[in-house]
Amino acid sequence: MLREELKYITTEHLRDTKQISVRAANCCASIGLKTLYNIILYFENNGTFFKKRIRRAGRTTCEELDKFCVSVIPKIEIKKRDVKIKKVFEVINELTEQEREILLSLTNLIGETENIIKEKEKIFSKHCKYDFSFAIDFYLSNGHFPMFWILEQHIINNRSRELDIFTHSFNIIQNRQLLSKREIAEKYDLTSERVRQICYKTFRKTFEITDDIIEYKTNDELLELIPVLQSKNDWAYTLEFFRDTHFVNQKKSEIQEYLKKEQCNLSVEFVLQIIAYLFHDTFSLFGGIEISNRNRIWKNTFLIKKEFTDIFNFEKFKIEFANHIANNKKEYDLIIDEFLSNSACWTSIIDLSKLDSIISIVKDILLYEFYLYSNPDGLITVNTTRQRKALYVVYEILKTKGEPMHIDDIFAEFKKILPEHKYTKVVQLRKYLQRLKSILYKTRSGIYTLKEWEHD
């Protein structure tokens, strides 16, 4: 092994793998010898563990440590590393002690022969739940670790009952089957109320956005998630998602593509929650993971920079606009610029330098929350209450399908949901859809799609 590698083999690991005794490990820790590197350096500087008295270290312990060091030193190689190894250890040197523990398995396998790696894999497989070689390869290619992938590995490999219940209750991992509280209760022999309490507690202790992250996150069963969620420097690359915009939503294709690059299956909704958790002093989250759906305001998840949420109340706007159109009996065109200029949602004097950005954010909210598309002139056609009901249904049919559909198939699903609706023929629904801005027909063959999919 290489001398530098000794820094990443902890005294606790030597104890747990029975390379040194528990007493020897405790004695080393008592004088600050926390790694194999420290132990070897102490031995080389003093020639023996007998020379300087170590508290609680008797003759047997000192002899054990001397023999251990004598057996290790001949195996240490001092030679130039290749560029890849240098880069890896440069990164590891910058990690916190907790993060080094996470990468312990990997760092001890670097640069060794295949046979040694296989032998060490047998040992480290007991202590490491997953292979970190992907993380290192990713770093060497991209200049940072795939933190969403690392977080996902912690979540899916965590044996905590609380986390398992939480991830089966909410959209945390894509394509993971969600279970009802009753199903989870039966699985763990709990009451549905107890399941609700566990979800609430797990969310608050681990993922809730708060100004007291370090002090607040003290749930022992989920302790291993803390170093991953508090290493802000490693997560800084996520701010690239905001390089050309002031907000993102869960439909943002760039985020979805990036998760594929990281081979990560976390939901975009949860990813935005994590970014808001890490950078809660920079962003405000709207929507996201909500423990109770009773008073749910948002259908989607939006992450908006605080410089805008500090001067405009987007949640108040969402509620007021819903009330504004709730009983609309006549279709009309809304000029969003004028509407916002007269809005009561400004928390201070209108900042004209940020007005265009806020208008852009509001248009995004209108599209995804109300299915109202703004044309290039800034006009938004507000439908009547009856029309909106039909629009919502068609929109949800297409969203559920996830791809363009033929008008005949749309109409069949439409009548299943609204059997009493006045439309009794396909042609009626077709004429209605052709007037909408948020739903487009791709060809004359009757294929319809969502406006928002144009940029996917």
> pLDDT digits over 313-364, tens only?
999 999 888 887 777 777 788 888 888 888 889 988 888 888 889 998 998 8
The rounded mean pLDDT for the chain is 77
pTM score, two decimals?
A: 0.60
Residues paired with 439 in a beta bridge:
450
Which single residue is written with the structure tokens 């219940």? 165
Query: With bands split at pLDDT 50, 70 and 90, how would you rate the model's confidence at 128?
Result: very low
pLDDT digit string (tens) for 268-321?
Answer: 999 999 999 888 889 999 988 877 666 678 888 999 999 999 999 999 999 888
Helices 192-202, 161-169: inter-axial angle, 10-degree rounding: 100
pLDDT at 433: 83
Give the helix/strand (H/E) hosting 201.
helix 192-202
Long-range contacts of 203-212, Cβ-Cβ distance < 8 Å, separation of 24 or more: 203/166, 203/289, 203/291, 206/163, 207/273, 207/274, 207/277, 207/289, 208/277, 209/273, 209/276, 209/277, 209/280, 209/285, 210/280, 211/280
Higher pLDDT, 443 or 245: 245
pLDDT digit string (tens) for 28-79?
Answer: 888 888 888 888 888 877 777 876 667 677 888 888 988 898 888 777 754 3
What CA–CA distance (Å, rounded) separates 99 from 412?
A: 54
What CA–CA distance (Å, rounded) separates 296 from 299?
A: 8
Q: DSSP letters along 223-250, please?
A: TTHHHHHH-HHHHGGGGGGGTT-SEEET
Domain 385-455 architecture? Orthogonal Bundle (1.10)
CB 128 within 8 A of CB 104: yes
What CA–CA distance (Å, rounded) separates 31 from 51?
A: 14
Which two three-digit tokens encode residue 209? 């956005």
Amino acid of residue 437: K
DSSP state of 351: -
Which residues, 6 or more positions from 377, have their beta carbon under 8 angstroms from its beta carbon?
Answer: none
CB 328 within 8 A of CB 370: no
Number of H helices, E strands in the chain: 25, 8
What CA–CA distance (Å, rounded) separates 264 from 13?
A: 29
CB 246 within 8 A of CB 304: yes
Nearest to 333 by CA among 389, 362, 392, 374: 374
* Helix, strand, or coil (residue 297): coil
What CA–CA distance (Å, rounded) separates 399 from 402?
A: 5
Which two three-digit tokens encode residue 250? 């869960």
Which two three-digit tokens encode residue 127? 């202590």
pLDDT digit string (tens) for 392-429?
Answer: 788 878 877 878 888 888 898 888 877 777 788 888 88
